[in-house]
Amino acid sequence: MKYLKLKDFKNRKNFLIHEKTNYLNKFIFVYLMHRFKNSKVFGKFLSVFLTDSKKRKLKFYSKVRLSRRCLLSNRNRAVLRSYGLSRIVFRDFAQLGILPGYKKAV
């Protein structure tokens, strides 16, 4: 369990680092594409940019690949987005009265 939490933390950290560079690269690429689309230089630039981007592609650079985990139990299934807790921990907190306004509906 501890290994998965550390792995998830590392993947999120890598994603945040590389997300900024990906946005910057996309902006530069689109800007240059509109600026030099009728030029002969653009073909050379395009080939260099695409080969360079393939080299830097890693596994967890996509936000879709990251998994949401409970903050307390580290469970990866049935995690409520607004609280960051799994359904089991959320239920226990509601029964104990830690989360006000919730009660068991019967």
Q: Which amino acid, one-letter code, is at 43?
A: G
pLDDT at position 89, please?
Answer: 93
Domain locations in the chain?
Answer: 1-67, 68-106
Is the pLDDT assigned to residue 90 strictly greater than 90? Answer: yes
C-beta separation of 34 from 82 below 8 A: no
CA distance linking residue 53 with residue 22, whole number of Å = 9
pTM recorded for the entire structure: 0.53
Candidate CATH numbers 4.10.830.10, 3.40.50.150, 3.40.50.300, 3.30.1360.170; the one for domain 68-106: 4.10.830.10
CA distance linking residue 43 with residue 70, whole number of Å = 47
**pLDDT per position as a tens digit, 32-78:** 777 776 766 666 766 666 666 555 555 556 677 777 888 888 888 89
| Mean pLDDT, rounded, for 92-98 | 89
